[in-house]
Each structure stands twice: as C-alpha cells, then as structure tokens.
Amino acid sequence: MSWSGPEDVLLSTSLASYLDKKLLVLLRDGRKLLGILRSFDQFANVVLEGACDRVIVGDLYCDIPLGLYVIRGENVVLIGELDLEREELPAHMICVSAAEIKRAQRAERDATDLKGSMRKRMEFLDLD
Amino acid sequence: MLFFSYFKELVGKEVTVELKNDLAIRGILHSVDQYLNIKLENIRVVDQDKYPHMLSVRNCFIRGSVVRYVQLPPDGVDIDILHDATRREARGP
C-alpha cells in the first residue's frame, strides 16, 4: 500500500477510503474482528477502535468486546467494509452469552478431536 | 513489476480470488498495488453459507500475502502480450 502520487490516486489500494468506517477484519488464526478503522500503514498494520471478536459456532454467535486494538499486518487476511444497510449476519443466527459460546466452542473442539482420533484408529485398516 | 502491470490491465474485470484459508471471493477488481494487495468491489463469497460473517461485506481489501489463486476471465488477457512482457522481464536489466 504505497502512498499514492496524484497520478495513482484513481488506482490505489490504500485503506484510506476505509478510515472511520466499521470494518470486518479476518485474521490468519480464523478470528473475525469488527471495529472502526482509525489508522493503518503500508504493512496493513491496523488500529481498530471499539473492536469486538465475533465468535461463531454453528448458528450461535457472540461478540466479545476487546476495546482499542492494534493488529500487526502480517496477521491480516482480509478487511471488509460492512454495508450498514444489510444485515451483518443471517436472520437464523442466535446471539448468546460469552459463557454459552465458550461451551459451544469446547463441544465443537471435542467433536473434532473425537473425529480425528477415530480416523487415526481406522487408518491401519488401509481402506482407501 | 510484471504481475502488478498485468493486474492493472484487469482492473474493472470480474475475478475470483482464492485465499490460503480456502475462502474464495468473486468480485470486480477495483485496484491492485505493488504488493499485489487486491481491492474487490461488489463481492460475492463462494459457498456463502459457510461464511455467514461475510454477509454484509460489499467491498474488501485482501492482503497480497494471503492470496493462493486469482481466477481470471478467459478473455481477460492477451496471451501474446503477456509472453512478450515475460521474455523481456526474463532477459534482465
């Protein structure tokens, strides 16, 4: 993201147009942060104000407030501009408390671990 | 700089960007920069149901380092011009 000269201003991947807007930032670890962009630089380091971590497990979701966040650019996957006129999430999704979503996360993790261990036990059969 | 110039030619065309986290996004190429960061407009997420959080995202900025593929329209490029440019680049300074 270079600082564009006057001749480049029509073709610029600058995040300047996203300043002071509510954004969705996807991180490499799978987290989805929402917040207002206050600052950025050429590495896509980003400052989000009023950031919250939107945790989604199946049809359940919870926004965990984080406050003022500085995100190192190497962790950024995508920065999306949220259209305020559209629903942020499908209508069937249910907002739950932080405790509830943590329970759901643990259940999902246990299910994945169980699937993984079962697969390992079946591997010796060499069915493929 | 070759691919930067190449993508600049594709601004305004519809492309599908597949990311290293397997998320695929179709949209109009709005801009590209020297790091091959990409800005897409009017996006549509492939397999939207798997990514409910992307529902209200219209435009996005994608960091170049996370791109796996950029799928292009078949008529999006003049192959001969690309060949020539590649040979020139390969010849070195």
Structure tokens at B62: 């994608």
Long-range interactions of B4-8: CB distance < 8 A, separation 24+: B4/B32, B4/B33, B4/B34, B4/B36, B5/B85, B6/B77, B6/B82, B6/B85, B7/B32, B7/B36, B7/B38, B7/B70, B8/A11, B8/B32
Q: Nearest CB to A2: which of B19, B25, B34?
A: B34
Put simply, the answer to whether A76 touches B33 (Cβ < 8 Å) is: no
Count other Cβ atoms within 10 Å, centred on residue A106: 11
Question: What confidence category does residue A9 fall into, taking pLDDT thresholds of 50, 70 and 90?
Answer: very low
DSSP A30: S
Residue with tokens 């207002």: A36
* Contacts B35 to A, Cβ<8 Å: 1
Q: Do B57 and A81 touch (CB under 8 A)?
A: yes
Nearest to A93 among B31, B52, B57 (CB): B52
Q: Per the structure block, which two tokens stand in for B82?
A: 């690309």
Confidence of residue A7 (pLDDT cuts 50, 70, 90): very low
Q: pLDDT tens-digit profile of A45-88? A: 999 999 999 999 999 999 999 999 999 999 999 999 999 888 88
Closest CA to A71 of A113, A24, A106: A24
- Domain residue spans in chain A? 6-96
CA distances from A120 to A102, A110, A117, A123, B23 (A): 27, 15, 5, 5, 27
Q: Phi, psi at residue B90, to the nearest 5°?
A: -70, -30
Verify whether the Cβ–Cβ distance B58 to A90 is below 8 Å: no
Instruction: Give the ipTM.
Output: 0.89
| B2-91 belongs to CATH 2.30.30.100 | yes
> Closest-CA residue in chain A for B30?
A11
Determine whether domain A6-96 maps to CATH 2.60.40.1180: no
A6: tokens are: 């006057």
The length of chain A, given as a count of residues: 128
Over the stretch B5-61, which tens digit does the pLDDT of each residue have? 889 989 999 999 999 999 999 999 999 999 999 999 999 999 999 999 999 999 999
The answer to whether the CB atoms of B33 and A1 lie below 8 A apart is: yes
